[in-house]
Amino acid sequence: MTAIEQILGEFIDAWKAGHRPDVEAYLARAPEGERDELAAQISRWLDIAPTPDYDAATRAAIAQEPALRAALETTDMLWSPLSERLPTLRERAGLAVRDVARRLVAIFDLDDEARATEYLARIEGDELDESRLSRRLLDALAAILGADREVLTPVGATMTGQSFFRAVENADQWLPQDIDALSRAALAKAPAPMDELDRLFLGGPDA
């Protein structure tokens, strides 16, 4: 049995016993030239490893670990509307709405801080359709707030139009509604042209 096979076996035994073995400590025991191979083998094992039967005290300790709590918090945040996520991230960064607006217009070389502030306030007030926000805007906000871009992705943004097909047997219900909506849209006054700031907030993902 090689050195790394011995160490890997001991790691697996410790894992199954619920001892929560420290990967770094086991890697440090391997010869320097074999640590990458041991790390790869441990990684492959952890991909399929069963969850140990931890006792109540160990489960409670795991639940309080900062890394796990942060991961769970991020997951919960991804399912909340952007109107809730944006102020949370902004407050964590210690920034007021106007501070974010000032940095935003600087990034895009614009000169309308007041209107950018208004747009941001509308997002936080849930008064703006988040599906109309551009990716450029969200990338810039992530950079300003020191957040992962994923945390600012609008809920449902990865869904395609194909996810919303309607059954043919319901056509008698939705077809008149669609025709009425199209008719009203055709008679509506054309919207005013959008400038660069408008496109960032209202132009859609590709604007």
Q: pTM of the prediction? A: 0.51
What's domain 73-155+198-202's architecture? Answer: Orthogonal Bundle (1.10)
Residue 7 has a pLDDT of: 92
| CA atoms of 74 and 88, how far apart (whole Å) | 11
What is the tens place of the pLDDT at every residue in 121-165? 999 999 988 889 999 999 999 999 998 887 888 755 443 333 334
Tokens at 176, concatenated: 């008149």
C-beta of residue 116 within 8 angstroms of C-beta of residue 110: yes
Both tokens assigned to 147:
């957040």
**Average pLDDT of the segment spanning 28-39:** 90
Domain residue ranges in the chain: 3-55, 73-155+198-202
Which one has a higher pLDDT value, 65 or 206? 206
Percent of the chain topping pLDDT 70:
71
Token representation of residue 160 = 């395609």
What tokens were used for 68? Answer: 């796990």
Where on the phi/psi map is residue 65: left (φ > 0), alpha (ψ -120 to 50), or beta?
A: beta
Q: Which two tokens stand for residue 18?
A: 């619920």
Tell me how far the alpha carbon of residue 7 is from its chain's centroid.
37
The set of residues, in sequence order, having a beta carbon less than 8 Å from that of 163 and lying 6+ positions away, is: none
pLDDT at 117 exceeding the cut of 90: yes
